[in-house]
Structure 1
Amino acid sequence: MDSLFSLLPVSLSSSDWLIALQSFMQQGGQVLWWLSGVVALTWLLIIERLIYLFVQFPKQRKEWTDAWHARSDQNSWYALSIREGWLAQAQRHLFQNLNFIKVLVAICPMLGLLGTVTGMISVFDVMENQGSSNPKLMASGISLATLPTMAGMVAALTGMFFHARLVKACQVREIKLEKSLRSHR
């Protein structure tokens, strides 16, 4: 059994990707850590919305449509009020946290720009203290300036894409629910 593991090109206990990630985060500076927190929260909320849309909402929709079709009265003011209440509840649940996701996505490029500013301040500090003739000393400040900007833009673009897809999916489900709760008499 030990010989099987010795044939693997990378040891199971090595964490090269973790070391690379840590190096990237150090080169990007403190702002990159803040950005990673915002991105983690954004993705946590996106995953929560996906689970709701594909697991919980279909169950709730079935309950509403079954209860609606079981009603003998679907045209009275009382029945229509119940229908409107279910639709309002569905809209509230479907679009929950989408505005917060949108805000977090908007924060990502701003944090990237904050990283740019802090990185450029670092470059100017090096230039002031050491002179502008040593490019190796300025390289860390330049990475502090560029890495958070790049990461912020990538996070914002992916977040915008998934936010737009979630909004569209919620709108489609809302319309389908409304159609399924129409009067059949």
Structure 2
Amino acid sequence: MLFLIELWESVRDFIATGGDVLYIVAAALFVMWVLMIERYWFLVSGYPVIFKKMVTDWDARTDTNSWYAHRIREAWISQASDKLSERMLLIKTLVAMCPLIGLLGTVTGMISVFEVMAVTGTGNPRLMAGGISMATIPTMAGMVAALSGVFFSSRLEAKVKMLKEELIDSMPHH
């Protein structure tokens, strides 16, 4: 229990040092990870059922050569592709937004530095240091959030692409 209290205090101190923009970075990071976990869960549990049904339905067809059969195959592949690609654009957008939100923290931190300089002049470096840390910490947090998202979203995208190709190969047209 003491560990959790100390952890909460260190997080609270970090946010106090970096400013309120860190709440926005944390919210974007949370949403991004919820969406990525949902996509991984779908690829493991939901998509195999869809894949098996489509391949079984295609194999059960007597006509796989006609123009109509080819259009049906393309429609099924397109539907599966849409289900696989759901929320991928939103995930990539959140990954791209994290550094930008961090830059917003940089701007707000620099504004506080300039406010301190306007009130006290440039003679008090201790007061300016608080604003400078408020300017750099959100940028760092946004970059770290984006880096974690870039790695896993690119892996997720590669998995989606591989599954699409596997579906295409599993429904041969003659």
Residue identity opposite 2:140 in structure 1:
M
Which residue is 2:166 aligned to? 176
1:166 partnered with 2:153: no
1:128 corresponding residue in structure 2: 118
TM-score by length of 2: 0.93
1:74 paired to 2:64: yes
| Offset at residue 139 of structure 1 (A) | 2.2
Look up the equivalent residue of 2:124 and give its one-letter code: N
Unpaired runs of 5+ residues, structure 1, are 1-10
1:62 equivalent among 38, 49, 52: 52
| Other structure's SS at 1:73 match | coil
Higher deviation after alignment, 167-176 or 128-137: 128-137
What's the counterpart of residue 3 of structure 1?
Answer: none
Aligned to 2:20: 30
1:158 and 1:141 map into 2 onto residues whose CA distance is 27
After TM superposition, the structure 1 = structure 2 runs for residues 80-159 of structure 1, keeping only pairs within 5 Å, are 80-159=70-149
Listed one character per residue, the Cα deviations across residues 127-146 of structure 1 (whole Å, up to 9, x for unaligned) are 22122222221222111101
With over 3 angstroms needed to count, the CA separation of the structure-2 counterparts of 1:91 and 1:29, relative to structure 1, is: same
Q: CA RMSD in A?
A: 1.6
Higher helix content, 1 or 2: 2
Deviation, 1:27, is 1.2
How much has 1:12 moved relative to structure 2?
5.9
Runs of 4+ in structure 1 deviating by more than 6 angstroms, as ranges, are: none
What's the % identity of the aligned pairs? 46
- Once the two structures are superposed, residues 35-70 of structure 1 have per-residue CA deviations (whole angstroms, 9 ceiling, x without a partner) of 111111111111111111111111110111111112
Aligned length: 174
Partner Cα separation in structure 1 for residue 63 and residue 5 of structure 2: 64
Partner of 1:45: 35
Tell me by how many angstroms 1:13 deviates: 7.9
Query: Where in structure 2 are there 5+ consecutive unaligned residues?
Result: none
Structure 1 CA distance for aligned equivalents of residues 70 and 31 of structure 2: 39
SS of equivalent residue, structure 2 residue 122: coil
Report the TM-score when normalising by structure 1.
Answer: 0.88
